[in-house]
Amino acid sequence: MGCWVMAGITFREAARKKILWTALIAGLGFLALFGLAMHFQIEDFDSHGTAPFIRYQILSAMLMIGLYVVDLLAVLMTIFTSVDTISGEISSGTIHAIATKPLPRWQIFAGKWIGFAAMIAGFVVLTFGGTVAVAYAMGRVLPEHPIHGGVLVFLECLLTLTITFLFGTWFSTLTNGVIVIGLHGLAFMGGWLEQMSGFTESARLVAVGVATSLVMPSESIWRRAAFEMQTPLAGSLPFSPFANVSIPSPTMIGYAGSYLLIALFIGICHFQRRDL
């Protein structure tokens, strides 16, 4: 019960503080820009009489770029909206009046997590679904496995959310933000190193890339999503966020899922026991 009250109040807070509407406007703005780019490209194809095969491949690549931006936007949105929720309420003392009510602390943590997860789900459905819908409506292109891709992007956001909540039980808002952004930077770098290793065939680069993915598996989830969604041409580009050079295995996705659950568990346990 308390869990759902907290989830509801988290959602309501986002609406009252205009976070929901700002995210909605940002998402719609992005879709409008993406639609405009598709429109101009299709007009150019029509005027040049571009061959259907080339036309399809280029529009598919544009779709992948759009989805990559959606992924990046969703992850950043997750961090910026949730970074203050645990640490901020602890440091301001807002948590005192809530944590003395008859609900176990884990329900406060879990309720907030569910509230943010629901908001992020809405954002992913809007931006990811919107991008796919715009690309299909205007250029008749679809990702290979859009559902797999969408679910993986959402999983990456949930992982980010959980990490942000976890460190929020230990550190101040600013420190928490620096840690989470830093971990994402690390994962991003590791992903590119793995891509490069495929090109240079360096086993040591692979090892570094895998190690960073184990520390923070968010980028691996995106690369798996890209693999699931991309067309063969986009996948064959050696240096891109969608390259097929080093594809995270389903085991890696399983690892990321377990990582999320363990981080959630540790976060709840620490919040349950820490002094407020």
Partner 1 sequence: MAIQTQGLRKEYGNKVAVRNLALCVPRGSIFGFLGPNGAGKSTSIKMLLGLVSPTSGEAFVLGKPAGDVETRRKIGFLPEHFRFYDWLTPAELLRLHGRLCGMPAARLRERIPEMLDLVGLTPHKDKRIRAFSKGMMQRIGLAQALIHEPEIVFLDEPTSGLDPMGRRLVRDVIRTQNKWGATVFLNSHLLSEVEITCDNVAFLKDGEVVASKELRAMGTEEEVHVTAHVRNLSDEAISALAPWATGASLEGEYLTASARSGDGLPEILRHLVRSGADVYSFTAEKASLEDLFMRIMGEDRGL
What mask, x for binding partner 1 by CB under 8 A, covers residues 3 to 32?
--x---x---x--xx---------------
Is residue 269 near partner 1 by the rule CB under 8 A? no
- Tokens 């602890």 -> residue: 90
State which of residues 96, 174, 182, 211 lies at the interface with partner 1 (CB under 8 A).
96
State which of residues 99, 138, 178, 186 lies at the interface with partner 1 (CB under 8 A).
99
Q: Residue 254 Cβ, how far from partner 1 at the closest point, in Å?
A: 35
Q: In the chain, which residue ranges form alpha helices assigned H by DSSP? A: 2-16, 19-48, 52-82, 85-92, 94-99, 105-124, 130-139, 146-168, 173-200, 203-215, 218-229, 232-235, 250-273
Q: Residue 102 Cβ, how far from partner 1 at the closest point, in Å?
A: 4
Closest CA to 180 of 266, 222, 188: 188
Is residue 92 near partner 1 by the rule CB under 8 A? yes
Region near partner 1 per CB under 8 A, out of 74-82, 89-97, 114-122, 197-205: 89-97
Is residue 104 near partner 1 by the rule CB under 8 A? yes
56 versus 106: smaller Cβ distance to partner 1: 106
Contact yes or no for 41/79 (Cβ under 8 A): no
**What type of residue sits at position 16?**
R
CA dist., res. 182 & res. 208, Å (int): 17
Size, binding site for partner 1 by CB under 8 A: 22
What is the three-class DSSP state of 247? coil
Q: Residue 273 Cβ, how far from partner 1 at the closest point, in Å?
A: 7
**What type of residue sits at position 9?**
I
Q: Residue 170 Cβ, how far from partner 1 at the closest point, in Å?
A: 16
Q: Which two tokens stand for residue 70?
A: 């959606």
Q: Which residues bind partner 1 (CB under 8 A)?
A: 1-2, 5, 9, 13, 16-17, 92-94, 96-104, 273, 275-276
